[in-house]
A and B are shown apart, each in its own frame.
Chain A
Amino acid sequence: MAQCVQSVQEFIQDSFVPMVAVLCSEDAEKVTRKNNLNFSELLRPFCRLTSEGHMRDPSNQLQVVKNLRISVNNVVTRPSVPSSGVPGHAHRRLLSEVVLTCQPAEGGVANVITAGDYDLNISATTPWFEAYRESFLQSMPASDHEFLNHYLACLLVVSSSEAVPVEKFLKLSQEQHRIQHSGEYTNPKWFIPNTLKYYVLLHDMSQGDEQRADSVYEDMKQRYGAQGCYLLKVNSRTAAAGADEQIPDPWSQYLHKSSLQSQVQLGPRLSVPSIYLLMYRTSEVDGHDSEEKGSLDNTHPLQLDTPSDTPGSLDALRAVAVETKPPPLTTGVAAATSHGACLTLNDHDRIRLFIQEFTFRGLLPHIEKNIRQLNDQLVSRKGLSRSLFSATKKWFGGGKVPEKSIAELKNTSGLLYPPEAPELQIRKMADLCFLVQLYDLAYSCYHTAKKDFLSDQAMLYAAGALEMAAVSAFLQVGAPRPYPAHYMDTAIQTYRDVSKNMVLAERCALLSAEVLKSQAKYSDAATLLIKMTSEDSDLRSALLLEQAAHCFINMRNPMVRKFAFHMILAGHRFSKAGQKRHALRCYCQAMQVYKGKGWSLAEDHINFTIGRQSFTLRQPENAVTAFRHILTNDSQQTSTQQGAFLREYLYVYKDTYFHDVD
């Protein structure tokens, strides 16, 4: 794999973060709208905590939590991505947009790698892969067999300009309760039955009575306790303030990503007037199919067109030359609008402080309390029922099957546990520990959970437990045990074959490949990545093949030819997925390996494809050069093949140099 910006630990920790939901009242929304942001977007740049937190694990030892990040989202009751294993159409489009917009810089940093007698000029980093990975992990749907994506807490935000804020808080609280417990909504999912509710009074400094806000806040503190509420003052900048003060705009990078994710529209007012529920995905996305049908159809990667195909392909080339390129996808939020125009640097600090307070005073203690509770439950239950169960099994042997397992064993892949099942409690506890970096405890819980699930033949749950057990074993400080790669392999296999859930399998593969790469086990990582390529997703296969190629080149004895071969395969998949520039880049890099080495058939094929791709991307000079290479070698192709090459060359040449004449 290519070098990534984040280290392995950072990457894994960032993939699984505590999730916090936000319910805002209308007035509070208006306050933040002045900055062209909604409340969760306002908080997003400040979500990485710079200081350390402390918490106690069940054995009362103090643990330090470093570099925690939380994820704040609005409550969205529409399912954004179907929770089946197949990613939806909108999801795929989002991912391809992300990769399309991230191209290598022209003349960017390139390494010269010398391997044997090959001197290769390739870039060592692949930022488009990291962008893909990030948005893939962020948009994973929450599922029932794991609790890492479930919401731990809910921020209830009310503006201080309300007549009776307390009443509003009550209403919001009831609303949250209803969403969680009424059973009407499958999304979002909540971690524990009593979610932490944190009350935020939003005060607009530019308009509004500060005294009144303070007094309301005192009242709230009496009611909810000092640890459960906060007074957040924003919008200190008056409209007339000088424009020469340069306020940094940290929101633009986050908003750019999320505007690709959601065509943000303010949803229609629902019958419950006090809540805005933003719709994250509109049902019909106006727009164009970003998957253009390229001029290369479904051909085998190594196939050259036979002459019967070429008239068709020449027509296709002509068609491409004539049609205009589809206009770029306009994002919902124009890039020119500024964000945070009403906030001063003081406000930024205040928001940062707010998140810190919330996390350290509200979220972490809440998590700690829950871990302790679950731990107590488990210890007591484990002691009693374990011994009874194993005792009955011993006495009654294989004849009688205990009642419990019959009821649960309906169907191995569709096994569902009731939410209060002890196995799920173990899993919940393990997830909580993992989210706050208590990896030792997390590992032991996952291990126990895995054993339970496997004995119950609940394969999906078992795969989840295996995956997380492997990751927590890796992240344990001091590394008492080696990374259990076989856990990951079993998990991936189970996801693919038993549950047919490619999304989860892909996540496993990405995590595992990253870990193996950090341990310099490049060939294992490469095999893993190649196994994950499949017919259903071209973009994913292309990216994984490219990463596998980078693995090969980063080995101690670089396998240059394997790198080149996999680059060619990746290039082919890229062009099938509609990412022409990436395809061209892959083929050019592979060309460096094959150039002048005497493998004429292969070289011809690459040159031909480069020529085609350059032509479609409007780089006619490159196309002409590439085609000319084919013609100048002593070609060993058949005569029909040579005829086809000549025809293509003439067409491209004519188009390039005699364009005005036509």
Chain B
Amino acid sequence: MAVCIAVIAKENYPLYIRSVPVQNELKFHYTVHTSLDVVEEKISAVGKAMADQRELYLGLLYPTEDYKVYGYVTNSKVKFVIVADSSNTSLRDNEIRSMFRKLHNSFTDVMCNPFYNPGDTIQSKAFDSMVSAMMVQAS
């Protein structure tokens, strides 16, 4: 279960950030922002060699003491970042991948909405509900 999910545009500003424990939101913002560095490093590293075969799922970006940060890049350079609790060790790679896939599908749905301007923050209720389903239940 994720504690924070973020969607970041090509120009590196956030389109959507949601985190569960609302009081510590700032910390997650900072974590996501910093993880962008690692994302960029991974993209640039792979890009030169095989430009077509680049994998979308980037895997574990970096572990901090309490959290693990995972990344995923679409072909239009939109990035998804999931921050998950480290104590929850039952999260396997496949589960994270499926979470990203669901995110990606919902995101494409949002894009398909003719009233949505690319570059705006995401305010779709469907997207919201999908994300809530993935997050840890607030206790």
* Chain A residues within 8 Å of B, Cβ to Cβ: 116-117, 300, 302-304, 557, 559-562, 565, 568, 594, 597-599, 601-602, 605
Q: Which of B11, B27, B36, B44 contacts A302 (CB 8 A)?
A: B27
Q: Which of B24, B25, B37 contacts A561 (CB 8 A)?
A: B37
Chain A's nearest CB lies how many Å from the CB of B5? 15
Q: How far is the CA of A557 from the CA of B44 in the complex (A)?
A: 10
* Chain B residues within 8 Å of A, Cβ to Cβ: 11-14, 24-27, 29-30, 33-34, 36-38, 40-41, 44
| Beyond A598-B13, A601-B25, 20 additional pairs, beta carbon < 8 A | A117-B11, A302-B27, A302-B30, A303-B26, A304-B26, A557-B44, A559-B37, A559-B38, A559-B41, A560-B37, A561-B36, A561-B37, A562-B34, A594-B33, A597-B12, A597-B13, A599-B14, A599-B29, A601-B26, A602-B26
Chain B's nearest CB lies how many Å from the CB of A530? 11
Chain A's nearest CB lies how many Å from the CB of B54? 17
Beyond A116-B40, A599-B13, is A561–B33 a contact (Cβ under 8 Å)? yes
Cβ B40 vs Cβ A602 within 8 A: no
Taking CB as reference atom, which chain B residue is nearest A566? B34
Q: How far is the CA of A268 from the CA of B34 in the complex (A)?
A: 59
Q: Which of B11, B24, B33 contacts A602 (CB 8 A)?
A: B33
Most buried by A among B34, B36, B38: B34
Residues in chain B near residue A303, CB distance under 8 A:
26
Q: How far is the CA of A599 from the CA of B33 in the complex (A)?
A: 8
Q: How far is the CA of A302 from the CA of B30 in the complex (A)?
A: 9
Taking CB as reference atom, which chain B residue is nearest A593? B33
Cβ A602 vs Cβ B29 within 8 A: yes
Residues in chain B near residue A557, CB distance under 8 A:
40-41, 44
Q: How far is the CA of A560 from the CA of B41 in the complex (A)?
A: 11
Closest 4 CB pairs of A and B: A598-B13, A559-B37, A302-B26, A561-B37
Q: How far is the CA of A561 from the CA of B39 in the complex (A)?
A: 11
Q: How far is the CA of A557 from the CA of B24 in the complex (A)?
A: 30
Beyond A561-B36, A597-B12, A597-B13, is A602–B30 a contact (Cβ under 8 Å)? yes
Q: Which of A565, A597, A601 contacts B34 (CB 8 A)?
A: A565
Taking CB as reference atom, which chain B residue is nearest A116? B40
Beyond A561-B34, A561-B36, A565-B34, is A601–B41 a contact (Cβ under 8 Å)? no
Q: How far is the CA of A561 from the CA of B8 in the complex (A)?
A: 15
CB-defined A-B contacts under 8 Å, sample of 14: A116-B40, A117-B11, A117-B12, A302-B27, A557-B44, A559-B37, A560-B37, A561-B36, A565-B33, A597-B12, A598-B13, A599-B29, A602-B29, A605-B26
Q: How far is the CA of A561 from the CA of B12 in the complex (A)?
A: 11
Residues in chain B near residue A117, CB distance under 8 A:
11-12
Chain A's nearest CB lies how many Å from the CB of B35? 8
Cβ B33 vs Cβ A598 within 8 A: no
Q: How far is the CA of A560 from the CA of B36 in the complex (A)?
A: 10
Chain B's nearest CB lies how many Å from the CB of A332? 45
Residues in chain B near residue A559, CB distance under 8 A:
37-38, 41
Chain B's nearest CB lies how many Å from the CB of A396? 48
Taking CB as reference atom, which chain B residue is nearest A300? B27
Taking CB as reference atom, which chain B residue is nearest A304? B26
Taking CB as reference atom, which chain B residue is nearest A560? B37
Residues in chain A near residue B29, CB distance under 8 A:
599, 601-602
Most buried by A among B12, B24, B41, B44: B12
Residues in chain A near residue B40, CB distance under 8 A:
116, 557
Residues in chain A near residue B27, CB distance under 8 A:
300, 302
Chain A's nearest CB lies how many Å from the CB of B121? 9
Most buried by B among A562, A565, A601: A601
Residues in chain A near residue B38, CB distance under 8 A:
559
Q: How far is the CA of A594 from the CA of B30 in the complex (A)?
A: 10
Taking CB as reference atom, which chain B residue is nearest A569? B30
Q: How far is the CA of A303 from the CA of B30 in the complex (A)?
A: 12
Most buried by B among A560, A561, A562: A561
Residues in chain A near residue B12, CB distance under 8 A:
117, 597
